[in-house]
Chains A and B, each alone.
Chain A
């Protein structure tokens, strides 16, 4: 169990292995360990497992309340089944879906663990594969679905589609179609927090491909210089579109990039929500205390293709037969699916049983279907609306009709 749950190596260790003093921790931790102990069958093994779960020998996952853990699990379910629902809608074809859809399925523990450590008023900046970030930050399924259908009731009123879903009111500064820009926007949001003297943090998510351009370095360098409340999370799913990450950059652990700037930088098992949470919690505490940025690399797996539904099938998890990766790998990744892993942990903790889990899943699926129905019924935006929202006021001229 310990090795299965253990996180990747930590490439930089500026903080000590002891957990930060956390009030009320004793009781919670004891009950957490007891629950685990029931399964692990011994205190020694159990203690080892707890540390491993927490990642990097930290046990801050124990500060999660039962309610919070169940909330995180429900959000992971929503993220999984909303995207599976979108997959089905695209594949069935009845709704004549168009545009792009980058599925996050397989990577959910990263968003879950990271955003689980945030407050409602913190900021996130996402990327093209960001549905999971949105849902974890409180994104509304109805409005997300309607945006996938480019309807008036969508988050972006049909202007944006999948790649640009945004909810500023919830601190979701948007998904974004340009690789790497999330980091510089996130660092900018963090600078804004500094200017206003707030206690929030800003988090940017980016894929492994996002570390290879100047925006990423600019964000890290300046966040370190100004001690900004900024956390950059790199979701390394091993492929820049269809190119292995190993072919695009010389370092294996992308967290290494932060070392030269003296930024605390960690590589963590992105399939383990507890490990991700533990590392993120540290980063968030540091940021709120004015100690500056953290760089986190989460190693993870994308079960489907880069974009779209190539080789995806209704009722099957994962896309097999894609030319740039082996099916054996995909099978191995799915064996390490973060969702059942989280579920089993909650069962071990006594928070869930199979019956409850099934009911919860059924309820989430119902919400997803309801959101798709909402999207179908949402009106089409009027064509002329495209001339608005260019500036705060007024519309631009319909120059396609000038003659």
Chain B
């Protein structure tokens, strides 16, 4: 047990699964390696060889995401690591193949595969294609694929292991912003159950919900909320599909107020579904949503910073909801 960066924690989980599952294969556009703060090195290529770690995969996401689907049909489980500027490259394969095959084949086809999708998040200076977030909600709209989105290294490792062990396809969102979040990560393999929310902080005044990079900002807002005298209940759904709506709705019912934060774009960002379901369930009577505007992310840091729902904006929104 130690504090480990996100990348290392995830690779540690994959390493454990590769040891027990002799077919598990990973495609990666470079060497899948990571070094722990203690100097421990994970080098999956060295450990498991070239067939299971086809090193030096070309910049051809369609090839290896499609290949993973084909492998899955033959019972070979795999992970397709897809870089952060290509968050929708898998889309057609997921929509027309990966999400449909089990159903279309009357239950014959199994899809034991994970798309490890890196996300850029709202980074300054990258502009447009390399500073995006929120595409998880696009995949959550597709039947037949599970969507998980950790906000810290502990959840990342546990969700990756759960995703690998799941007989169904899972898209696993890994935003760079979660890497530096300080959580203890056990050395051994463990699962974080897909579809189970995490109660980050108990409270009575307002329910605040968000996932991935938005949850990183919500966590940063905790001191500001306290200083404002707001006793917030904070929930991280960790999965968008299946969505752990019961836990969130119970909280919204208790506090009466739901503030949902998303780094995706305003229209149809993932938390919109949470708000809609809570409203339909009669959970809460005041709802608000902070999201990145319906604009691509600009490069200038002041511009993108202003457009991103960050900790100060979350505190301000919560204050407004408490007084309004």
Contact = CB atoms under 8 A, between A and B. Distances in A.
B52 interface: no
Nearest to B286: A403
A195 interface: no
A99 B299 contact: yes
Interface string B286-324: 001111111110111111111111000100111011000
B133 to A, nearest CB: 12
B129 interface: yes
B290 A403 contact: yes
Question: Most chain-A Cβ atoms within 10 A of its Cβ — which of B61, B295, B296?
Answer: B295
B127 A399 contact: no
Contacts of B58: 209, 212-213, 240, 248-249
Given A100-B126, A178-B129, A399 B294 contact: yes
A398 B293 contact: yes
A160 B294 contact: no
B292 A400 contact: yes
B59 A240 contact: yes
Nearest to A385: B303
Question: Most chain-B Cβ atoms within 10 A of its Cβ — which of A150, A161, A396, A399?
Answer: A399
A108 to B, nearest CB: 24
Interface residues of B, number: 50
Nearest to A388: B295
Interface residues of A, number: 46
Nearest to B62: A214
B174 interface: no
Contact of B298 (A158, A209, A400, A402): A158
Interface in A228-275: 240-244, 247-249
Contact of B301 (A98, A241, A249, A399): A98
A396 B265 CA distance: 11
Contacts of B55: 247
A168 B291 CA distance: 32
Question: Most chain-B Cβ atoms within 10 A of its Cβ — which of A210, A214, A397?
Answer: A397
Contact of A401 (B124, B290, B318): B290
Given A99-B126, A100-B125, A403-B288, A383 B303 contact: yes
Interface in A148-162: 150, 156, 158-161
Contact of B302 (A164, A214, A383): A383
Contacts of B304: 386
A161 B126 contact: yes
Interface in B61-78: 61-63
Contacts of B295: 386-387, 389-390, 396
A210 to B, nearest CB: 8
Contacts of A389: 295
Interface string B82-95: 00011000000000
Contacts of A400: 290-293, 306-309, 313
Contacts of A390: 294-296
B286 to A, nearest CB: 10
Given A158-B303, A177-B129, A386-B307, A403 B59 contact: no
Given A98-B301, A386-B295, A403-B317, A243 B127 contact: no
A163 interface: yes
B56 A248 contact: yes
A163 B127 contact: yes
A290 interface: no
A177 B128 contact: yes
A180 interface: yes
B188 interface: no
Interface of B: 29-30, 55-63, 85-86, 124-130, 259, 265-266, 288-296, 298-309, 313, 316-318, 320-321
16 contacts: A99-B124, A150-B125, A156-B127, A158-B300, A160-B127, A177-B128, A209-B58, A213-B61, A248-B58, A381-B302, A390-B295, A400-B313, A401-B313, A402-B288, A403-B318, A403-B320
Q: What 5 A-B pairs are tightest by C-beta distance, nearest first?
A: A99-B125, A403-B317, A247-B56, A399-B266, A161-B299
